[in-house]
Structure 1
Amino acid sequence: METLQIILGLAIIIITFLDFFHTTLSGNGFGWISEWLNRTLNRLIIKNRSRSIYNYSGVIHLLLTTFVWMALHFSGTYLIFTAGENMVINGTTFVPATYAERFYFTGYMLSTLGIGDFTPGNDTSRILVGILSFSGFILITTGLTYLLSVVSAVLSKKELSFYISTVGKDYEGLYHYFKKQDELEFLMSDSSDLRQQILKNASSYLSFPMVNYFLTKKRNSALILQLARLHEVLTVLQLDWGEDTIQRAKIQKILNAIEKYLKIGIEGPESAIHKEEKLRTLRGSWKKYGYDFPDGKEIDPWFTSSLKYAGWDWDDVYKLDPE
């Protein structure tokens, strides 16, 4: 029984670290525990629709995910040190520790190396203390480094969002800004930089998937909303240029970057119900500028899901700024 409990405790710790390292170091998105936890939490926050919760959504995701990792690690370690009577003993009297004292010992051991009032009581326990104390140090230091990297990625995401919003405060503003330029001068000179910024933020989905859960009710800092507007405007402007023009080619590269951003993201096209008729009606607003927006774009359901789980929808994409 003692051996089985130790094996169970070690299994919990190993599973925790697999999820932890997959999320923080692999560059391949969430581990399965973190993915389930954050998707569930995101849906609860979206349903709540409270502005104050939105403002702290990213912090909530970070703290709760970190807490779950630490709680699982602690639980597995505590399970190990309660497996046998002599796994932990009093350092002075050599009396086996109570469950409360083992809980205290586990906490101290994972955060430092204890203060000597309780010690491992047999060779198995001593070996495990040496291993697990080091694992606690790894979890804490790597976790802190990851948190700082997430904050940096969030700032990069907001920077790109602000950049697009300063070009045009809504989709019409973006359209008029580009349209009044001779041969799309802005896109010709800055398309490469814009594309690189979009792809840089796309890579953040894989390296720091927690970034996607930093929600906001402010339009100018909501990157998915700004990218949706930009994508709609560029899709229309592309119709002005022939297949072999440099303008069309550069527009297509930016559109490809935006679509890559969506497909690398953590919300697939099946995550939300896509209403094609509603979107077609909204896109009918382009007729006043003489355009028939292309129907049935393959990327539309991806946008629908990403918008929904960031707290937006297509109505927000086509909503005009009253100011």
Structure 2
Amino acid sequence: MIESLYLAAGIIILILVIYDFFFTTLSASGMSFIANGVSIFSDRLIQFAVRVVGRKVYNYHGLFVNLMILSVWVILAWLGLFLLYSSNPEMITNSSGRVANGWERLYFTGYTLSTLGIGNFKPVSGVFEIVTSLFAFFGFVFFTSSMTYFISVSSAVVTKRTLVKSIYNLGKNPEEIAHNFLSLDSSYTYQQFLALQEMVDRHAVNHHAYPVVHFYTQAKAKNCLSLNLARLDEAFSILLGSDDAENLHQELKPLRSALTNFIQTLDTKFSSSLPKIKNSVDPSFFNYSEKVQQNTDLESRRKILQRLLKSEGFGWEDVV
């Protein structure tokens, strides 16, 4: 009876972890449920550490989440295969024919998955020989695919930091960014809009394909996406509500639309990982013209951005 439970549990765990691994690393469609759950849990650990140690912990945020996901995949695959071998323990023996005990089966499972092929223990049934061969091959695919995935994530992180730096260089608050756009030559401003739109769209695509990029934050405020993204979005609200910028409105709309799509993606895909807020910000907090504040889209945008800001330890007072 217990052997049947080991067999069923092992098969279920292996199916789930294999699906989760391949969906997350190869589908370019986000994270499956195991990776997503681990990332949320890891993020909460980091947020707790930030409250205890300080903002410098954010420098290790994405790395910690990535390593936690990889560790859980390895542990689950190891556990599932161990349970599978334990469903018929007589089928794993050492070179002299002695049946492996529990620790030895655990050891045999580890070197099978790691493709070491030490050979001091071996399966003695045809079924387990095939299983061992399959999971030795899976171990090879697992580690090579993981490295490829992490290289892609690193590239996406570089894109994210390039976007952050580009926004930061435009100004240190929304009004400064808006003023700088108005003071530039119109043709140069259009080029800036196009370049920013391309970077926002690229980051949005990377964000969807590799959601772990969301957790790569920084200790220094100037390097944080939430702060700079909120400043840029508020600057565009100022420009769209300004009579002086009417000539920019048409060219600004595609970039504003790209920002809108990205903000909405954050709300739908990362709602469970973004902190909850009790009250939305009072519009009177922003010293903008009445025409800007009448924008009916502002409240919903600010709610999402406020949650994003809070996830990196900021508030609206840091934006303006």
- Shared fold, TM over 0.5: yes
C-alpha separation in 1, matches of 2:130 and 2:292? 71
Greater CA drift, 145-154 or 1-10: 1-10
Partner of 1:115: 118
**d(CA) in 2 for partners of 1:34, 1:313:** 29
| Structure 2 counterpart of 1:61 | 65
Q: Could you tell me which of 72, 97, 106 is aligned with 2:109?
A: 106
Deviates more, 1:188-197 or 1:152-161: 188-197
* 5+ long unaligned stretches in structure 1: 319-323
The answer on whether the counterparts of 2:163 and 2:199 sit within 8 Å (CA) in structure 1 is yes
2:191 partner amino acid:
S
Match of 2:214 in 1: 212
Report how far residue 73 of structure 1 moved: 0.4
Deviation at 1:166, TM superposition (A): 1.0
1:249-293 Cα offsets, whole Å, 9 max, x none, are: 2212111111111222333398522633x341321x225xx8642
Q: Deviations over 1:74-102 (max 9, x none)?
A: 000111112213221012x1110111111
User: Is residue 144 of structure 2 the alignment partner of residue 141 of structure 1?
Assistant: yes
Mapping 1:66-77, distance limit 5 Å: 66-77=70-81
SS at match of 2:197: helix
Look up the match of 1:253.
254
Alignment partner, residue 195 of structure 2: 193
User: Would the alpha carbon gap of residues 64 and 201 (structure 1) be closer, same or farther in structure 2, given more than 3 Å must change?
Assistant: same
One-letter identity of the residue aligned with 1:247:
L
1:42/1:309 contact within 8 Å kept: no
More helix by share: 2
Q: Match for residue 316 of structure 1?
A: 318
Q: What is the CA-CA distance between 1:185 and the residue it aligns to?
A: 4.1
State how far apart, in whole Å, the 2-side matches of 1:122 and 1:198 are.
55
SS of the residue corresponding to residue 65 of structure 1 reads: helix
In the alignment, the residues of structure 2 paired with residue 191 and residue 4 of structure 1 have an alpha-carbon distance, to the nearest angstrom, of 60
Q: Does structure 1 retain, via aligned residues, the 8 Å contact 2:21–2:73?
A: yes
Please report how far the alpha carbon of residue 55 of structure 1 lies from its aligned counterpart in structure 2 after TM superposition.
1.0
Q: What's the TM-score once normalised by structure 2's chain length?
A: 0.89
CA distance in 1, matches of 2:88, 2:71: 27
Q: Counterparts of 1:32-47 in structure 2 under 5 Å? A: 32-47=33-48
The answer to whether structure 1 residue 124 and structure 2 residue 102 are counterparts is no
Match of 2:13 in 1: 12
1:3 CA displacement? 4.2
**Root-mean-square deviation (CA), in Å?**
2.2
Farther off after superposition, 212-221 or 198-207: 212-221
Secondary structure, counterpart of 1:167 in structure 2: coil
Cα shift at 1:113: 4.8
Superposed CA offset, 1:222-270 (max 9, x none) = 1222111011011111123599x66212212111111111222333398
Are the counterparts in 2 of residues 6 and 80 from structure 1 also a CA contact under 8 Å?
A: yes
Q: Deviations over 1:22-68 (max 9, x none)?
A: 22222221111111221122133224322232111111101111000
Q: Which residue of 1 aligns with 2:171?
A: 168
Letter in 2 for 1:17: I
Change (3 A) 1:104 1:48: closer
Corresponding letter in the other structure for 2:155? S
CA distance 1:27–1:279, change in 2 (3 Å): farther
Q: How many residues align?
A: 311
SS of 1:275's partner is coil
d(CA) in 2 for partners of 1:264, 1:142: 26
Alignment correspondent of 1:321: none
CA shift in 2, pair 1:149/1:122, >3 Å? same
Structure 1 residue 187 displacement after superposition = 2.7
TM-score (norm 1): 0.89
What's the secondary structure of 2:167's corresponding residue?
helix
